[in-house]
Amino acid sequence: MRLARTNIENLPYFACMAKYDGADTFMYLDPPYFDCEGDYGAGIFSKEDFVRLRDIMSGLKAKFMMSINDVPQIREIFGCFRIEEVTTTYSVGDTQKAVPELLITNYDPVEKVASWADYLDE
């Protein structure tokens, strides 16, 4: 029942983004980490795809948030957008490791949270 209004797609990222882009869309983007492109199979995602993804993101009508590892190459490729640094914890396996991560958006996420707080206070 929870998935009653959910569409599950099996598309390359660029086709999925094109299909759902629009002013009323929010896209959460969770691509492979930089330097981990091969983790999901050969030929599926390469370093060049980060530039292709950035160019698609630049033309979106949708709001987006992308989470990705904090490395200089990502900061350079996506430097045209807002970049917030956060700390997250990898919990796969036995270790609990705090690592820096980036949230890349085309809107101000802090402003959005502030307005939610106003709403919740009412």
Residues in contact with ligand SAM by the rule CB under 6 A: 12-13, 30-32, 40, 44-45
We find the least distance from the C-beta atom of residue 122 to ligand SAM, in angstroms, to be 33
Return d(Cα 95, Cα 11) in angstroms, integer. Answer: 33
Q: Which of 62, 63, 107, 61 is nearest to 83 (CA)?
A: 107
Q: Which of 105, 63, 100 is nearest to 85 (CA)?
A: 100
We find the least distance from the C-beta atom of residue 47 to ligand SAM, in angstroms, to be 12
We find the least distance from the C-beta atom of residue 94 to ligand SAM, in angstroms, to be 20
28 vs 119, which CB is nearer to ligand SAM?
28
40 vs 107, which CB is nearer to ligand SAM?
40
- Please, which residues have CB within 8 angstroms of residue 89's CB and are 6 or more apart in sequence? 96, 97, 98, 99
32 vs 63, which CB is nearer to ligand SAM?
32
